[in-house]
Structure 1
Amino acid sequence: MACEVKEIDGSILEGGGQILRIALTLSVIRKIPVRIMKIRAGRSKPGLMEQHLKGIELLRDISNAKVKGASFGSTEVEFWPGNITGGSYEARVKTAGSISLLLQAALPCTLFANSNTTLRLHGGTNAEMAPQIDYTTEVFRPILEKFGATFDFDLIRRGYFPKGGGEVVINIEPIPKLDPIKIVDRGQITSVFGWSFVAGSLPIKLSHAMADSVGRELKRFCNNIKIERYKEDRNIAPDNCSGIIVVAETSTGCLLGGSALGKRGENSEETGRRAALDLAKSFEEGTCVDSHSQDQIIVFMALAQGPSSAKVGEITMHTKTAIFIAEKMTNAKFEIIPSGPSNIIQCSGSK
């Protein structure tokens, strides 16, 4: 293990939990001890919230790490990783804190474990300000598979804001290395599909309204649109929620996603329209990787054995942050090359 502690300012760029997640993920994989300071310093409630603590504890257990400062509200954490060990691990966020964000931190680490890993994660499956779990499995996972990795997924229970209570089980087999990717040819949009759902006591007509709205907005891009409309089983999703996930597939195998959750006081047509416009932005920019996966692939590009490139849209602040931390924690170098309304992210990869 390296003795020098890498110091990271948690208030830079995006300035939120993403810095913590990426820094700790790469700390575990690279076996570099880190000290993260000014954690979430610019937020209305600075420091570690429960969902951040559960993520730290999960990575601590996976990597047999020593941790200092991991307490509620803390703005500084030291993390000294050990060896990544496969097995069964659990993280339970009592609120609707995102399960997808827990997985973002833990998944790359488990790919380099010494044996298979099972993660039982509790919290929010469909939450604002984070990818819905359906997006993670249906859009992000196929992108991950281009790097030569994947995971199995079992949904036990849906968890919505504010109660949470969702539960998923993830199984991951370790891999010897990550392959570089080259995703720069978007091709033609061949189909749009998705899922429009309601849960709890909400009527199915809201599901139809969201799906119909998506169809109206996206028909100018594609005629082959099929949105499944349904009401969640009460045994799996007892609480109230509505939302939609839409996915576009292209002739070159790219998958692009858009999504929205229903809001209090918002009609369902507008919820569907928000999801459609989310996806339409990727169409108009000619991207191969949408804005929700754009920042998620940075860690994998940095760790891949060889140069990677991906065509994306406008570079998000989350992506800028991910690149900054990845370059600080690895020997990978990134370059952004403008390409019309889109950009190509190039990465030298691991050496």
Structure 2
Amino acid sequence: MAAPTLKYEGCNFFRQRLILATLSGKSVKISKIRHKEDDPGIRDFEASLIRLLDKVTNGSRIEVNETGTSVLFVPGLLSGGSIEHECHVQRSIGYYLEALVCLAPFGKKPMKAVLRGVTNDQTDPSVDIIKNVTFPLLRRFGIDEGLEMKVNRRGAPPLGGGEVLFKCPVRRKLRPMQFTNPGKIKRIRGVAYGMRVSPAAPNRMVDAARGVLNKFLPDIYIYTDHMRGPQSGKSPGFGMSLVAETTEGTFLSAELASNKPGEEPTVPEDLGKQVASLLLEEIYRGGCVDSRQQSLALLLMTLGETDVSKIQMGPLSPYTIQFLRHIRDFFQLMFKIEVDKSTSNDDMDQAERLGGDKVLLTCVGVGFTNINKTIL
């Protein structure tokens, strides 16, 4: 007997719902998508996401009504393999990569994806953050050998022109994880990039960021990546991503990109200071994963073996809170959430406590098995 179709309304968390539907094998119907707006229905970047999901699955059925305000998605089996995809420039490649990162380990074949579009923008995680923060998190769950990403070309909005190669191995099962001690910050690494702008712009951002961060930590290295010619995409732009690493292997990140051409010009020094401040704020929030990686960590814990997984996080983002509700809908699994008492001890000094109260999230994995992976 087929499982009943899950029904939702509105455009919020559209990608989240399609990803969980694909992994759980449950059909999902999303209606009233921007139905009250002058331009109703799904946007071009959401249609591009649907096409991408169709490429990485085998046998999916997708029905979109004439106005685009209703989408029925009946997922097929994850196939993986080699794909190429033109990402819509309304969202960066990171928007689509986040979806592939969730799905690729459970395909029939290891994934090799070439994505083209915008590599760095102000909305989605850049390819740098996914490589330097998301990948270490995947390795904690046993997704390691064969995991690779290469930036062939960078592309800034609005025209993009970037290209990224993403490779991911397949796994039959994920190992459970106990990660409750984030450790102390030991070093900061980063990249300042520029496309079709003066080579001095990345250096100016680095100097400004170091002016803030050197008061906090001496071990800082930010390298510059100034793309030229065909590798610099079709639009000018610059930006910076920073990653703080702890003694226990926690990675906390922050990033910013310049405004699009035609908008108010961005000053490199101001952007460098802002990114440094955002990183310090992320460090203050604390936890074993940064706020952008919370939902991925919870998903991998959910799909792990039927054993206890536990993780400490800083304050949960609204996106993560909704993600927990969706995990309950698609996998009938609920997390135990409690305030981590060890971080609210009055006897600890401020440096040890680092930020406000943290939360501990505990679950027993559903024992998800990749039935597509051939048993050798």
TM-score by length of 1: 0.90
1:82 to 76, 80, 96: 76
Q: Distance in 1 between matches of 2:36 and 2:288?
A: 33
> What is residue 120 of structure 1 aligned with on the other side?
114
1:348 to 364, 373, 376: 364
> What is residue 313 of structure 1 aligned with on the other side?
314
> What is residue 333 of structure 1 aligned with on the other side?
334
Q: Distance in 1 between matches of 2:50 and 2:142?
A: 26
Q: Distance in 1 between matches of 2:361 and 2:66?
A: 36
**Equivalent residues in 2 for 1:230-269, closer than 5 Å:** 230-238=225-233, 239-263=235-259, 264-269=264-269
Give ranges in structure 2 of 5+ residues lacking alignment. 345-355, 368-376
C-alpha offsets along residues 41-89 of structure 1, whole Å, 9 cap, x if unaligned? 6888553112211211221232223434337862221111222223222
> What is residue 162 of structure 2 aligned with on the other side?
166
Whichever residue aligns with residue 313 of structure 2, its letter is V
TM-score by length of 2: 0.84
Q: Distance in 1 between matches of 2:140 and 2:66?
A: 38
Change (3 A) 1:143 1:176: same
Contact residue 53 and residue 71 of structure 1 kept, 8 A: no
Alpha-carbon shift at residue 244 of structure 1 (Å): 0.5
Alignment of 1:193 with 2:209, yes or no, is no
Contact residue 333 and residue 349 of structure 1 kept, 8 A: no
Alpha-carbon shift at residue 4 of structure 1 (Å): 2.9
Alpha-carbon shift at residue 273 of structure 1 (Å): 1.8
Whichever residue aligns with residue 348 of structure 1, its letter is V
Secondary structure in structure 2 of the residue aligned to 1:169: strand
Alpha-carbon shift at residue 260 of structure 1 (Å): 0.8
1:206 to 197, 201, 207: 201
Give ranges in structure 1 of 5+ residues lacking alignment. none
> What is residue 270 of structure 1 aligned with on the other side?
270
C-alpha offsets along residues 285-339 of structure 1, whole Å, 9 cap, x if unaligned? 3322111212332322221223322222221111112111112111322233223
Change (3 A) 1:119 1:261: same
2:56 to 52, 62, 66: 62
Greater mean alpha carbon deviation, residues 218-227 or residues 66-75: 66-75
1:184 to 147, 159, 180: 180
Secondary structure in structure 2 of the residue aligned to 1:287: coil
Q: Distance in 2 between matches of 1:271 and 1:43?
A: 34
Contact residue 61 and residue 76 of structure 2 kept, 8 A: no
Whichever residue aligns with residue 294 of structure 2, its letter is Q
Secondary structure in structure 2 of the residue aligned to 1:186: coil
Q: Distance in 2 between matches of 1:117 and 1:312?
A: 30
Contact residue 50 and residue 72 of structure 1 kept, 8 A: no
Contact residue 6 and residue 26 of structure 2 kept, 8 A: no
Alpha-carbon shift at residue 92 of structure 1 (Å): 1.2
Larger radius of gyration: 2
Secondary structure in structure 2 of the residue aligned to 1:120: strand
Secondary structure in structure 1 of the residue aligned to 2:149: strand
Whichever residue aligns with residue 122 of structure 2, its letter is E
Number of paired residues? Answer: 344
Greater mean alpha carbon deviation, residues 27-36 or residues 66-75: 66-75
Alpha-carbon shift at residue 35 of structure 1 (Å): 1.3
Alignment of 1:301 with 2:297, yes or no, is no
Let me know the Cα RMSD of the aligned residues.
2.2
Q: Report sequence identity in percent.
A: 25
Q: Distance in 1 between matches of 2:173 and 2:5?
A: 24
Q: Distance in 2 between matches of 1:39 and 1:256?
A: 34
> What is residue 92 of structure 1 aligned with on the other side?
86
Alignment of 1:290 with 2:286, yes or no, is no
Q: Distance in 2 between matches of 1:321 and 1:332?
A: 14
1:219 to 214, 217, 234: 214
C-alpha offsets along residues 178-200 of structure 1, whole Å, 9 cap, x if unaligned? 22222221212111111112210
C-alpha offsets along residues 233-259 of structure 1, whole Å, 9 cap, x if unaligned? 322114311100111111111111111
Q: Distance in 2 between matches of 1:136 and 1:42?
A: 35
Q: Distance in 2 between matches of 1:165 and 1:338?
A: 45
Q: Distance in 2 between matches of 1:44 and 1:248?
A: 43
Change (3 A) 1:172 1:237: same
Q: Distance in 2 between matches of 1:178 and 1:20?
A: 26
Alpha-carbon shift at residue 126 of structure 1 (Å): 0.5
> What is residue 373 of structure 2 aligned with on the other side?
none
Whichever residue aligns with residue 106 of structure 1, its letter is L
Secondary structure in structure 1 of the residue aligned to 2:109: coil
Contact residue 20 and residue 39 of structure 1 kept, 8 A: no
